[in-house]
Chains A and B, each alone.
Chain A
Amino acid sequence: MIAATLRRQASRRVLPGFGLSLGVTLTFVSLILLLPLISLVGQLSQLSLSQYWFLISDPRILASYRVTLLAAAVAALFNAAFGLLMAWVLVRYEFPGKRLVDALMDLPFALPTAVAGVTLATLYSSQGWVGRWLETLGLPIAYTWVGIALAMAFTSIPFVVRTVQPILEDLPSEVDEAAVTLGARDGHAFRRVILPHLWPALVTGTGLAFVRSLGEFGAVIFIAGGKPFETEITSLMIFVKLQEYDYAGAAAVASIVLATSLALLLVINLWQGRFIRRLHGGGA
């Protein structure tokens, strides 16, 4: 019946290729996306509720949730500040090398995470260029949660910069002029006049950086050092369980990670949608 309805609708379409593109897309989505995700549900359905609870609330796993959430939150907040500064500087000012700095902002996306991981671990180890200095100041980075946060911050830098930048570019100069002619000082004017315009983009970018940090693996594991209860992230716990052929345990923990990131993504999308509707007065 569904097929008949679709065919009836298709016959009214002007452009060709509906059936073909629907077929290709559905085949691809089923095989590549849905089937593997369903297999996770299949694996979980073999567990009883109490078994499931036992697997996801193991003290070592609980500690990994804490480390992951804390480090990801710190990384996201750092990037909110750093990203806002970079977006502002790149949009508002001219200086030599600006195009280069702008291009460099995307480096964390272009550079493989494993490469970022070994590089940061080498730089911030007690013998590394930076780590050596910080160690004498009593600030060890490698093999602490600070190192994990640093690696997460590195991989998610572009999110805030690239979501705030276009909004700032589109902001008309009248906004500035109004604030300045009314006699507001820079800091005050920025907070009261500019920030409300940037706020939605800033929150979206920071949220995306947070979600990305929660799932980050390659960049983090080298600098984390994997001390149980202290520097183990949740992705690493899944990986360790897989190497021990504990598929049920890995699937249980993975379902928590998956559900958290999907829920966060949904919240960000809904929030962004609401903002866009408010901005354009309905529609969209």
Chain B
Amino acid sequence: MIRIGDAPGVRRLLIGVALVLTALFLLLPLVAIFAQALMGGIDLYWQNLSDRYTLAAIGLTLLVTLLTVPINLVFGIFLAWLVTRFTFPGRRLLQTLIDIPFAVSPVVAGLVYLLLYGRNGWLGGWLDGYDIQIMFAWPGIVLVTIFVTCPFVARELIPLMQAQGAREEEAAVTLGASGWTIFRRVTLPNIRHALLYGVILTNARAVGEFGAVSVVAGAIRGQTNTLPLQVEQLYQDYNTVGAFTSASLLALLALLTLAAKAALEWRAARRESLA
């Protein structure tokens, strides 16, 4: 069988160019992060890592992620169930709405929250009367992170659940199963992988969100700095090694994300070839 571009010369040329470009554009920055972080030796790396403000930033990032991921997980499942198992007026509109966070610039996302919950905002002024501060504090950071990551889980689930159809679940209903049982015994096993994938993506973005968070965080050192903001602040202070120490943690997490994603895809491909 002859295919286009299978001549050895063409093949070698294209693979060569692709590898060189990948090395330059993707691998080199990755290597640079760890090289810069370890430039001052491993002792300085540990010293930077155990800095009070860096530890506070790690703590805040963990808090934001721990709140964001479960909330978006639950919402994503409900939304996917709603739009793939029922027809109702406005279904298309709902599906379009949920894509908005992907199209909105993160700075604009931060801005609209600031307008709503800021001191002069509708809700902000009212909450201020009860001494509840959302902006320039951790609740605001959590809210904008939920906003920018809310489509991930739903986007993974909707096409899959649409393709699978509702026949198995309907069969379960006729056998008298309750809603919760149907979800746990029928739906969940079928969507497990897509759900996990959505969670991995949500998690990666929640940890790394910068633009939206930097608008609502107010840059209070040691209090409202997430890890990406800490990277920026140290970099602006000309503490390059310190900035890249925090950056290396985030890069490590990115590599874990890629590995988890590759593992999931590999398992899915293997199941497909067995079936």
Contact = CB atoms under 8 A, between A and B. Distances in A.
Q: Chain B's interface: helix, strand, loop or mixed, by majority?
A: helix
Interface residues of A, number: 96
Q: Chain A's interface: helix, strand, loop or mixed, by majority?
A: helix
B53 interface: no
Contact of A251 (B5, B115, B146): B115
B107 A217 contact: yes
B211 A218 contact: yes
A115 B236 CA distance: 13
A254 B208 contact: no
Contacts of A43: 115
Given A88-B14, A190-B5, A106 B261 contact: yes
Given A25-B94, A86-B22, A42 B115 contact: yes
Contact of A157 (B4, B26, B150, B251): B26
A17 interface: yes
A254 B211 CA distance: 13
A239 to B, nearest CB: 5
A113 B148 CA distance: 13
A104 B98 CA distance: 28
Contacts of A218: 106, 210-211, 214, 228
A180 to B, nearest CB: 5
A4 interface: no
Contacts of A29: 94, 97-98
A119 B4 contact: no
Given A33-B147, A106-B258, A257-B105, A154 B29 contact: yes
A181 B4 CA distance: 11
Contacts, number: 284
Interface residues of B, number: 101
A180 B250 contact: no
Contacts of A85: 14, 17-18, 21
A115 B75 contact: no
Contacts of B14: 85, 88-89, 93
A229 B37 CA distance: 34
Interface in B74-95: 74-75, 78-79, 81-82, 85-86, 88, 94
B107 A238 contact: yes
A118 B26 contact: no
Contact of A103 (B75, B96, B98, B261): B261
A217 B210 contact: yes
A142 interface: no
A177 interface: yes
B243 interface: yes
A277 to B, nearest CB: 15
A93 B10 CA distance: 11
Interface in B198-246: 201, 204, 207-211, 214-215, 227-229, 231-232, 235, 240, 243-244
A92 B211 CA distance: 38
B192 interface: no
A129 B143 CA distance: 39
B178 interface: yes
Interface string A241-283: 0100001001100100110011011000100000000000000
A22 B88 contact: yes
A112 B19 contact: no
Contacts of B86: 13, 15, 18, 21
A123 B82 contact: no
Contacts of A250: 111
Interface string A104-147: 11111111111111111111000001100000000000000000
A43 B117 CA distance: 13
A264 B102 CA distance: 12
B73 interface: no
A219 to B, nearest CB: 9
Nearest to B231: A114
B3 interface: yes
Contacts of A130: 28
A113 B100 contact: no
Given A111-B250, A257-B108, A264-B103, 5 more contacts: A16-B179, A33-B150, A110-B255, A111-B251, A186-B5
19 contacts: A6-B88, A17-B179, A32-B146, A40-B111, A95-B19, A110-B261, A114-B247, A121-B235, A123-B29, A194-B4, A215-B103, A215-B105, A215-B106, A218-B211, A222-B232, A242-B111, A242-B215, A254-B105, A265-B102
